[in-house]
Amino acid sequence: MQVKAPGRATHASPARPEHPVRPRPTTPLWRSRTAQGLAYAAPTAVFVAVFFLLPLLLVGQMSLSDWPLLAGDRGGNAPENYTDVTDSPLFWPAIRFTLLYTVLVTVVLLGLALLLALLVQESRPAAGFFRTVYFLPGAVGLASASLLFWGLYSPTTGPLSRILESLGLVDDPVSFLGSPTSALLSTVFLVVWKFAGFYMLILLVGLQRIPHEVYEAARTDGASRGQIFRSITLPLLRPSLALSLLLCVTGSLLAFDQFFILTKGGPDNSTVTIVQLIYREAFQRLDLGTAAALSIIVLGALLLLNVLQFRGLRRADES
């Protein structure tokens, strides 16, 4: 037999006294919670719309249009810009080079940053001094640092080549940016010099969050330095390492300033990065549509990569 729930009676019943229906006080719309909420959200919403959404929408629109930099018809041409992207003979070499550069920089930079962080981790005499010295290059802008190194590397006017000559290490002026390999390594050297201190700082914060008690317990158990590093430092440093990795990989995939100033993609187009290719499409070939399409592709690739990295990070945290 079906038991009817109280209050669900089908027969007509008098108004339930326990729930008297009272007319809600009428508040003007502008004082309602919704309106207030909207007012609070509006400044941020406008900010996000103007500085994040609008540029993205514009780039999206550009990527679907024939959009020359100079005045002209800006009609839609989808998906031509996307299919044209691979037409440039520089496209695949630029992807290969950008990936090679990213791997090289990430390995060298994070390795050195970790080493520096370990060196200045403890409060030894002069540790503060060294932390400052390592971090100092990080305070120089990348474009300024690139110009500085461009001057240093110059075989005609730079001092590096002359110093090597006066030391008798080389006979002729050294062309640091003259061959594909040396141009790549010279740029990597600049980037490592510039950013090692910055990543050292991130890792240092991570290192200092590891409780001393854990180390003490390990030492009491007779663990060697290597064991402590492998079994305690590295696993507990994982969040900081993951953050550094994310920043370093994203930054390297978007490399532009250093190559634009140091090598201009040369010698012989051996150091053209993806972002340089975007710049070239936009400002040398004056074709904003293709440049925008390339930008959207790079954005998509970076989003995918970051999602994968975040997933990996989260899984590592859970485990």
Does residue 121 interact with another protein by CB under 8 A?
Answer: no
Hey, what are 208's tokens? 């200092």
Question: Which amino acid belongs to residue 251?
Answer: G
Does residue 50 interact with another protein by CB under 8 A?
Answer: yes
Hey, what are 162's tokens? 């002359």
What's the min distance (Å) between Cβ of 45 and another protein?
4
Site for another protein in 290-319 (CB under 8 A): none
Of 187 and 276, nearer to another protein (C-beta) is 276
Does residue 178 interact with another protein by CB under 8 A?
Answer: yes
Q: Is 269 left (phi over 0), alpha (psi -120 to 50) or beta?
A: left
What's the min distance (Å) between Cβ of 155 and another protein?
4
Q: Is 222 left (phi over 0), alpha (psi -120 to 50) or beta?
A: left
Contact 69, 288 (CB under 8 A): yes
Does residue 282 interact with another protein by CB under 8 A?
Answer: yes
Q: Which of 175-199 are b and which e, b meaning 16 or more Cβ less than 10 Å from the residue's Cβ? A: bbbbebeebbebbbebbbbbbbbbb
What's the min distance (Å) between Cβ of 34 and another protein?
6
How many residues make contact with another protein (CB under 8 A)? 47
The span of 44-52, 229-237, 247-255, 302-310 binding another protein (CB under 8 A) equals 44-52
d(CA 151, CA 165): 17
Does residue 159 interact with another protein by CB under 8 A?
Answer: no
Q: Select from 80, 91, 108, 173 the one that contacts another protein (CB under 8 A).
A: 173
Of 17 and 43, nearer to another protein (C-beta) is 43
- Residues 57-96 as x/- pattern, contact with another protein by CB under 8 A: xx--x------xxxxx-x---------------x------
Question: Which amino acid belongs to residue 74?
Answer: R
Q: Select from 184, 191, 249, 272 the one that contacts another protein (CB under 8 A).
A: 272
Site for another protein in 218-247 (CB under 8 A): none
Hey, what are 232's tokens? 């305690």
Does residue 163 interact with another protein by CB under 8 A?
Answer: no
Of 138 and 173, nearer to another protein (C-beta) is 173
The span of 2-10, 98-106, 149-157, 204-212 binding another protein (CB under 8 A) equals 149-157
Does residue 24 interact with another protein by CB under 8 A?
Answer: no
Does residue 157 interact with another protein by CB under 8 A?
Answer: yes
Q: Select from 62, 146, 241, 265 the one that contacts another protein (CB under 8 A).
A: 265
What's the min distance (Å) between Cβ of 68 and another protein?
8
Where do contacts with another protein occur on this chain (CB under 8 A)?
33-34, 37-38, 41-42, 44-46, 48-50, 53-54, 57-58, 61, 68-72, 74, 90, 154-157, 172-173, 175, 177-178, 264-269, 272, 276, 280, 282-286
